[in-house]
Amino acid sequence: MADHTISQPAGRSLLLVLHDVAPHTWPDYQPFVEAVDALGDIPMTWLVVPNFHKRHPLALASGFRQMLDRRLQRGDELVLHGFYHVDDNPPPRSARDYFMRRIYTCEGEFYHLDQATALERLEAGMALFQRFGWPLAGFVAPAWLMSEGTRQALSTLPLQYTSDPQHFYRLPDFTSVAAPGLVWSASNPWRRGLSRIVCDLHSARLQQAPVIRLGLHPVDMRHGLSRRYWMQTLQHLLRQGRTPLTKSAWLASRH
């Protein structure tokens, strides 16, 4: 993978990114999104799953799709986020694979795919976006985990970028662009407490960073501590004068 760093222009930005967007998770996000909208014109990037856990296909969710159509009209961005968002590969065979696929996450759909299977799912997701009339520039793998086969597949497609927790990668050559992010693990109380500490320390180091990504997940919206953290952090970054942008808009500014 190429790893060329692109120079940073003046100005500071923030990117508000909603992960795991699907009909099933929209009720978690809706109150938060409405609260963000009340703050003003703050574009968001929605990481959309075509068929979340093989139980929530977009094709059968016309009302949800109409909501996303309206978000596009507001200036938001939709990004392809896996296809099923679940690891349906054969069981892990090594200790490393067991850790990555059963302890770290059970949703690393693209972590173990060969090129042909990855290409098939990517093309199926792209076809859905085209069917619904949604512009598509980016792909983000569930849990940011991508196999070499997935990288090979992405290098053949007309997508503009992918990302991991701290970088964007321009496609097709995976040119690296530093883009640090904050993310919580909010599934239980001790993880939420630790996430708050880690994010506070990390955000203090990012005061002068050209961009900060806020990576939200549906589970964050189910707990007052994490939900308040994201709203307070967003408001703090806006008061600092950071410009809210979508992923594509920010990347377009990096020349």
Structure confidence by residue, pLDDT tens digits, 195-217: 999 999 999 999 999 999 999 99
Confidence at residue 10, expressed as pLDDT on a 0 to 100 scale: 46
The amino acid at residue 52 is F
Residue 104 pLDDT exceeds 80: no
Higher pLDDT, 127 or 3: 127
pTM: predicted TM-score of the whole model, two decimal places: 0.90
153, two tokens: 């597949």
Across 27-55, average pLDDT:
96
SS3 165: coil
Predicted confidence at residue 106, as pLDDT, reads 56
Mean per-residue pLDDT of the chain: 90
**Torsion angles phi and psi, residue 171, rounded to 5:** -100, 150
Q: Quote the pLDDT of residue 1.
A: 42
Q: What pLDDT score was predicted for residue 5?
A: 38
Residues 6+ apart with CB under 8 A from 170: 6, 160, 161, 177, 251
CATH code linked to domain 13-252: 3.20.20.370
Burial class (CB in 10 A: 0-12, 13-18, 19+), 191: middle
pLDDT-derived band at 112 (thresholds 50, 70, 90) equals: confident
Residue 173 structure tokens: 């050559």
For position 187, what pLDDT does the model report?
83
Joined together, the tokens standing for residue 65 give: 């799709």
For residue 188, what pLDDT is reported?
Answer: 86
Q: DSSP label at 159?
A: -
Query: What mean pLDDT comes out for the span 93-120?
Result: 71
Residue 90 pLDDT greater than 80, yes or no? no
- Is there a contact between 184 and 174 (Cβ–Cβ < 8 Å)? no
